[in-house]
Structure 1
Amino acid sequence: MSAFGLVLLLMIGLGTVFTGLPNVVILLGTAVVGLVVGLLSGTIAPNLLYALPARIVDLMSSDLLQALPLFVLMGLLLNRLPVASALFHTGLALLPRSGASAPVAGLAIGVLIGPMNGSVGASAMALSRTIAPEMRARHVPLATVQAVTATAATLGVVVPPSLVLILLGDAMLNAHTVALNATGRMEQVVNTQNVFQGALVPAALFIGGAVLMTLFLWRHRPGQVRPSHVPLRRSDAIISALALPFVGGLLASVTLGYVYPVEAAACGALVLFVAGLASGHVSRATIGPLLDQAMRMTGALFALLAAATTLTLVFRLFGTDKLIADAMLALPGGPHLATGAALVVLAACALVLDAFEIVFVIVPIIVPPLLMRVPDATWVAVLILLTLQLSFLLPPLGYALVVTRDMLKGKASMPAVLRALLPYVAVQVLVLASVFAIPALVHPRERFGLAPPAAPAPLTPDEMRRNLDEMLPPPPDAAPAALN
């Protein structure tokens, strides 16, 4: 019955494509079907279901999950405040007058706003409401607007410290721990900070390649409209001068390890909330609906996490995880072939599942056996991120592209969108292939001689005893002698 778990995975894909039900309903419904089949067939013993509550409680106790509601609140505040539009106008004023100025400014906004919006769907909706109308007002074709907006929306997948990177880092830590326990290897377990820093160079390569491709395409575009110079408004300059150092410093501090993601999310949410109150964009009348929406979205994410945890438990009770592990270990060839096969599966899943479902459901099943063969967990994590980003852009089912085209309805045919999107997909494929062939790209600290200093030599027993004596309180004064 271990192969029945694969049938459950197929049911998830079919349910997502054809039913239109919420993802959490599909995951829970599939888990219930699996439990009923397992109990009726005798494959699953009823007493094993007692492990589910403890499993969910243990999962929800993760400190990283405290960042979920804070990132959601930050995304909602960013959508309410005119930060994106002010940065866009400032970028247009600073860039040379060219048809490429608006698309380049749109990509730059995606770099700054994407990691703070939480998810690809939220970024696509936010950018469709902010930078897309600005590009259309500057005579950028609708197909190009959709392609640029979809590409900018996926930048939050690879630019730290986005919610996708945080959750994937936690999932990679658990998967790497399972792999090390199974193989007996003595290695440092990968953590979220490793994933952050590993994604830096690939993200920079993609952003730089996308900007250069945009400049090249618009330079050779016949009959392009040369936009007129628009003076920078004082309000936009003030907002940009305040927001750019804050957002950039926050992202850099988390990526470099000076600030924890939860602390950064709390700081960002507080500053944006105060800025909203001071500017009048957040008032007493809007605080209630804003917090209500934040709690609804947070509850949906936690429900999705609980449903995914239930489903992965069903997979393990059926033995599907062992079946996949045996198949992964039996693949011929070296680590690159096994990694390539896993990435193909993830890319196929990303056509019907979003990033959170993949992190919660697919990664715990596929990645542990993969890491039994591939020792570089950071390299695997970054390849997963790049594969997800590529899949979200691939037509016709790419998640970012579907959301963007749904938000930006108009007379843009799919062939025209494909032509506008093809250069960015080519850059993404090139970056993915480069990281696949050169794993050193995900280790910038070691590659450029910036590795952390070596650990100090262990203390001798005498030094340890001396340090302990210094930490202990001084002995109390001797009691006075008894009176005669």
Structure 2
Amino acid sequence: MIEHFWLIVLGLSLLGGILSGIPVMLILSGVPVAVSFIAAAFGAFDLSFLQAYPQRAFGVMQNSLLVAVPLFVLMGVLLERSRVAERTLMQVSRLLGGSPRALALSVLMISTLIAASTGIIGATIVMLGLISLPAMRQVGVPDSTASGLICASGTLGQIIPPSIVLILLGDQVSNAYLDAQQRAGNFAPDAVTVGDLFAGALLPGLLLVALYGLFVTVRLARTPAKTNVVTDPIGPWEFVREVLPPILLILAVLGSILAGVATPTEAAAIGVAGTLLITAARVSAASDTQSLPGGPQARAPGDRSSPAWLRHVMTATAVVGFGLVILRLSGVARINLNAAEISFSGGSLLALAMTVMLVTGLIIAVVVLTRAGVFGDALAQAARISAMIFGIILAASMLSLVFRGFGGDEWVHELLSNLPGDHTTMLLFTLLVIFIMGFILEFIEIVFIVIPLVGPILLQDIDPVWFAVLVALNLQTSFLTPPFGFALFYYRSAAPEEIKTTTIYKAVIPFVLIQVITLGVVFLWPPLATWLPQVLFG
């Protein structure tokens, strides 16, 4: 035990720092440096290890895959700030609301849609709490069921692609898998891509949604309706106008990745462009008030629909964008921007003209959103969130470096190797550790601390996509487990005071158990995670 003294000091110092309330980024970077200098004074640490950190930091910043993170964040913030996601939720609630079960299932359904388009937990849960909670309480859904459903549904964006969790996991699992295969003597392994993880997580994510729906259906089967919340029926054209654009956006982003047409970074850029068009078609620079679907409310940015001409321009721009994709797939437009090669054929000239039209439409969208007060705020919020993510990534890299300097990687290898059983026992132990860490740490810290340590060992014998999906499902529980489940914090800020904090904690227990059951199903049946990637990518 004495040979691991400084590792114990490092672990206890990190735990104390996290519980102190100091920002995690500062703890993950500052504590390892402080402990390393103290240990160096006793001759227990070689400070030359720290010279490798600048190269690690440059490696993170030069990773083109991570460019997708701020783009997806901006996409989600725009949908939230422009209230497109909120309007979609209200329309589906108007369509299906009436009985407690129908309204609860409509909240779950639209939460799944929002999860695939935003993925920002805080905004999603607060929106669900403010919009759907009063309606569910009005028709007779118990507070415990409504609270648990909102908290659980708001975290679906972390497992349903495109997901920031999967992007970060993809980067770390890919590196760990390459290291593991080289240790095993395979110096030309097949690459693990984020597209593989997106495809692998799709079926487990939908299974999780289905189990949520089954629980809600059984739980509310005999709950009588107090009153019918839907007083204003929705027409089919209004429903299509509000709900169809976000669905098409999801299909464009996720479909382009799964079809192999675009990388995750390129798909994120497509998503941002589509989001700009959708949000610009929903907002106006006017500063008056109006009635939203569901009742009059004070105007906030994005409340008022844009003029008809602007909606037509945005629609035409979207059509031009889809047209460019079709030209690209058909091979008619012979344009290679990477090599600066253009074949001046009719198809190429058409593609150039359509590109000019697309850029013009996007510029108009940015101008409209800027005048409406949406674009600037969204950029600022996306920058803050992205800075936090990358700050934690860089801090975790410092922690990993110091941990290796103390011989922690060798200790982890020895610990896993001495476990009884085979690699399955190692995997179960790793999942248990991740589950426990989820009570006190965010998913980003867990990903960048655990995966580099255990991945090179486990992925010598375990399918990397299956492993990544299991980790992602496990991380899903960290948002709902007290005391630091962030979904609970966000919901507490939006829920009325009469719903006690203890009620919220009890409400999420069934949904955490459902997450664990889903994790167990995928663990026992790996094809749930590996079948679709094999079909799509071979």
Band the TM-score falls in, shorter-chain normalisation:
0.7 to 0.9
2:273 aligned partner, one-letter code:
L
Query: Within 2, Cα distance between the matches of 1:389 and 1:61?
Result: 28
Does 2:88 correspond to 1:87? yes
2:192 aligned partner, one-letter code:
V
Deviation of 1:411 (Å) = 1.7
1:292 aligned partner, one-letter code:
A
Distance 1:291 1:399, change over 3 A: closer
What residue in structure 1 maps to residue 185 of structure 2?
A: 184
Distance 1:149 1:225, change over 3 A: same
- The superposition leaves residues 240-272 of structure 1 with CA deviations (integer Å, 9 ceiling, x where unpaired) of 132222224423333443332212221222232
Of residues 490, 498, 508 in structure 2, which corresponds to 1:421?
508
Unaligned runs of 5+ in 1: 454-484
Of residues 363, 380, 392 in structure 1, which corresponds to 2:451?
363
Distance 1:274 1:353, change over 3 A: same
Query: Within 2, Cα distance between the matches of 1:427 and 1:308?
Result: 30
Query: Within 2, Cα distance between the matches of 1:39 and 1:419?
Result: 47
Superposed, 1:232-381 pairs within 5 Å as: 232=234, 237-278=240-281, 279-280=283-284, 281=302, 282-284=369-371, 286=373, 287-372=375-460, 374-381=461-468
CA contact (8 A) 1:199 1:382 kept: yes
Query: Within 1, Cα distance between the matches of 2:31 and 2:395?
Result: 10
Distance 1:98 1:223, change over 3 A: closer
What residue in structure 1 maps to residue 488 of structure 2?
A: 401
Deviation of 1:57 (Å) = 0.2
Query: Within 2, Cα distance between the matches of 1:451 and 1:247?
Result: 18
What residue in structure 2 maps to residue 482 of structure 1?
A: none
Query: Within 2, Cα distance between the matches of 1:430 and 1:245?
Result: 31
CA contact (8 A) 1:88 1:106 kept: yes
Between the aligned residues of both structures, percent identity stands at 32
2:277 aligned partner, one-letter code:
V
Of residues 476, 479, 485 in structure 2, which corresponds to 1:389?
476
Deviation of 1:395 (Å) = 4.1
- The superposition leaves residues 47-85 of structure 1 with CA deviations (integer Å, 9 ceiling, x where unpaired) of 332211111101211111111221221121111123222
What residue in structure 1 maps to residue 203 of structure 2?
A: 201
2:519 aligned partner, one-letter code:
L
CA contact (8 A) 2:140 2:226 kept: no
Deviation of 1:317 (Å) = 1.0
For 1:172, what is the secondary structure of its paired residue?
helix
Distance 1:352 1:154, change over 3 A: same
Deviation of 1:165 (Å) = 0.5
Deviation of 1:44 (Å) = 2.9
1:389 aligned partner, one-letter code:
Q
Deviation of 1:451 (Å) = 6.1
1:291 aligned partner, one-letter code:
L
Unaligned runs of 5+ in 2: 285-301, 303-368
- The superposition leaves residues 136-158 of structure 1 with CA deviations (integer Å, 9 ceiling, x where unpaired) of 55554433332111111221121
Deviation of 1:122 (Å) = 4.6
Query: Within 1, Cα distance between the matches of 2:159 and 2:278?
Result: 28
- The superposition leaves residues 167-224 of structure 1 with CA deviations (integer Å, 9 ceiling, x where unpaired) of 1011100111121122224643432222111112211111111112212211122565
1:290 aligned partner, one-letter code:
A
- The superposition leaves residues 280-299 of structure 1 with CA deviations (integer Å, 9 ceiling, x where unpaired) of 22333623333222222222
For 1:331, what is the secondary structure of its paired residue?
coil
- The superposition leaves residues 24-49 of structure 1 with CA deviations (integer Å, 9 ceiling, x where unpaired) of 11112212222212321223333332
Superposed, 1:421-460 pairs within 5 Å as: 421-445=508-532, 450=535, 452=537
For 2:459, what is the secondary structure of its paired residue?
helix
Query: Within 1, Cα distance between the matches of 2:215 and 2:259?
Result: 29
Distance 1:85 1:189, change over 3 A: same
**Greater Cα shift, 107-116 or 72-81:** 107-116
TM-score, L = length of structure 1: 0.85
TM-score, L = length of structure 2: 0.77
CA contact (8 A) 2:94 2:232 kept: yes
Query: Within 2, Cα distance between the matches of 1:31 and 1:343?
Result: 24
Query: Within 2, Cα distance between the matches of 1:387 and 1:41?
Result: 39
